[in-house]
Amino acid sequence: MRVDDGDAISYHALRPGTPVRSSDGVHVGTVRRVLDNAREHIFDGIVVETSDGRRFIDAPEVERIFERAVVLTIPASDVHRLSVDRSTPAERAMKALRRRLGRG
């Protein structure tokens, strides 16, 4: 069964919540954030919300970006081994503050 992922799009148009599939067709999570090197206009990767928490997917591990899905170059079994979300220090500080205040 073929899945209609829509047209290929730029990483600039990729939105949070977009489903992410592994190279073997398994739904592994959803896009949380798109990372880029804005100064050099280079796609750096995505942060994916998985059942095991957030994982950083490096740009070479992203095969294609479509309107309705992201397809990876790696199988589902490799996704849980990836590094955790690469939040900025400010984002980590805000997250810690929200935890201390009981808001997440």
pLDDT of residue 42: 86
The secondary structure of residue 34, as a DSSP letter, is E
- Domain CATH code at residue 88: 3.90.50.10
| 6 within some domain | no
3-state helix, strand, coil in the chain (%, to 5): 20, 40, 40
The total of structural domains in the chain comes to 1
Domain, as residue range, for 34: 11-100
pLDDT of residue 83: 73
Secondary structure of residue 91 in the 3-state scheme:
helix
pLDDT tens string for the chain (104 positions)?
567 899 999 999 999 999 999 999 999 999 999 988 777 788 889 999 999 889 999 999 999 999 999 999 999 999 988 877 655 556 655 665 666 676 55
CB 57 within 8 A of CB 48: yes
Separation of alpha carbons 96 and 91, rounded Å = 9
Separation of alpha carbons 88 and 66, rounded Å = 27
| 3 within some domain | no
| 63 within some domain | yes
